[in-house]
Every structure is written in C-alpha cells, then in structure tokens.
Amino acid sequence: MNFKLKAGAIMIVVLFLAAVFAPFIAPAEPSTSNWHIRLSPPELSLSSETGLLGTDHLGRDVFSRLLHGARLSIGISLATLFVSLTLGLALGLLAGYFGGVCDSAVMFVVEVLLAFPGMILALAIVSVAGGGAFSAIAAISLASWIGYARLVRGMTMSLKERDFVKAARISGTGDFGILARHILPNVLNPVIIYSATTVSVIMAQLAGLSFLGLGAQPPTAEWGVMLSDARGYIATAPWLTIAPSAALVFMITGFNLFGEGLAQYIGEEK
C-alpha cells in the first residue's frame, strides 16, 4: 500500500471518528450561547471555560461546533456523492448499452449542463429551490452526475462489444442481466477511483454554498456556516476563521490523497 493511500486513509478515519464520537468528545453543546465569554481566544487547557479553540460571537464553543460540524459536513457530502453517483451510473449504463434515442437524450442533457460551470449551475439550482441542506444536496448532485455518466457511458460502449458480453447475449442472458452481471462489475473500479478524487470537490462546493447562505442554515454547526459567521471578525477574532478553514483543508487533503493513492494502487495491481 503506497504512502498517499495510507496517509489519506488515516486522515479520513480520524475525521470519521471525530464525527461519530462528537457528542462524547465535545466539551459543550454546539448551539449553547454564553454571552459573558463571547469572542474569547483559545486557551490550551481542558479546564478552561473558553475551550481549546475559543468562543465565537455568541459565546459558543468553537471546538464543540467544529466536531459536530464534521458530522454534518461529511454526512451531507457523502449523501450528495451517493445521489450523483447513482444517477450518473444508471444513466451512463443505459446510454452506453442501448444507444440510439436513449443515448441521444442523455447526451443532450449532458451537453446542456456542461455549458455551465458546476458551481454556477449549483448556485442557480439552489437559488430557485431555496436554501437548506436538502437543496444543497440536490443542487450539487444535479451538477456532479455528469462526470459519472460520461465515464460509465464510454466504458459501457467499449465493454458491450467484448466477446464475453456477446457470449452472454447468445446464451440467452437478457439486457439487464448483462448490465448487472457483466458490465457493471467492470466499470466499478474506475467509478470508485473517480468518486474518491471528486468527493473533495463536492465538499468544497457544499461548504461554499453554506458560506453564501444557500446551504446549511445558522445556527447549525457546519463548517461553511462557521466561516460565514466569522466573516465580520477576521481581524479581531481570527481563530473563528482558522478553525473551520483548517478542518476543511484537512478533510479535502485526506480525500485527495486517498483518491490518488487508490488510483495508483489499482493501477499497480493491474
């Protein structure tokens, strides 16, 4: 196992453990305000009332909000990844295998959506649908499935001409049986690699939507929301910006390393 894969896996495990055990690790409730210690700087003491990472403009513990924010940030990102992957995989398989009208319809939609940058498209969708976590998931998913569909379509068009698929067809296996048993298993590895390398982009886009007020909404403990709340205090309370920014960089770096390492590992195995 190469270094990138190991390092990325360790960073992802750390994030997941922090998210899962946040209620037990966090020293305070993420939404509990304490006005007499508002904007208190970090203190490296477990017994400190102001916490390891200080407090925000409402006196809420930044460390507690960071831990609980990991749950929401990771959860929303994985939900978005699942929706976009499922949609792109299904449409890519159908378009690549059946061709004709099905392929033309799918590729027409893909070409129309490709005319807009992914983030601009997501902003347009979520602006129409209204703010909130579910709107953000829908918006990013509709902007992200295109890559999966194009990848799977191309591979399916190649695989359906292979001898083992022709033999399955001659033996009487139906179209959906061929898709499920012969084509899908052969496209999964590239799709998994692509997913691992693009999940960090999804996370950054979701944090951006929350920062703009179009994703998760205050007082929710989410890293994009925390950055949005900290905008007016960059000069007087820089820790409010540093903590969620560092968490996002750590998370995105972890998934990027894991994706690159996984691609290298699978390439070496072949």
Residue 65, domain CATH: 1.10.3720.10
Taking 70 as the threshold, does the pLDDT of residue 155 lie above it?
yes
Number of C-beta neighbours around residue 240 at 10 A: 25
- What pTM was estimated for this model as a whole? 0.84
Task: Name the most confidently modeled range: 34-43, 199-208, 242-251.
Answer: 242-251
Residue 86 lies in a domain: yes
State how far the Cα of 99 lies from the Cα of 253, in Å rounded to an integer.
38
Is the residue at 104 inside a domain? yes
pLDDT band at 148 (very low <50, low <70, confident <90, very high): very high
* Overall average pLDDT of the 239-248 stretch: 92
Residue-level pLDDT at 253: 92
Number of domains the chain is built from: 1
Report the alpha-carbon angle 12-198-228, nearest 5: 75
Range of the domain at 260: 3-18+61-269
Query: How would you class 65 by CB atoms within 10 Å of its CB: exposed for 0-12, middle for 13-18, buried for 19 or more?
Result: buried
Residue 252 resides in a domain: yes
Give the model's confidence band at 88: pLDDT under 50 very low, under 70 low, under 90 confident, else very high.
Answer: very high
pLDDT tens column, 169-210: 888 888 888 898 889 999 988 898 888 888 888 888 888 888
In a domain, 119, yes or no: yes
Please give the pLDDT value at position 269: 60
Q: Which of 47-61, 181-195, 225-239 has the lowest mean pLDDT?
A: 47-61
pLDDT range class, residue 1, cuts 50, 70, 90: low
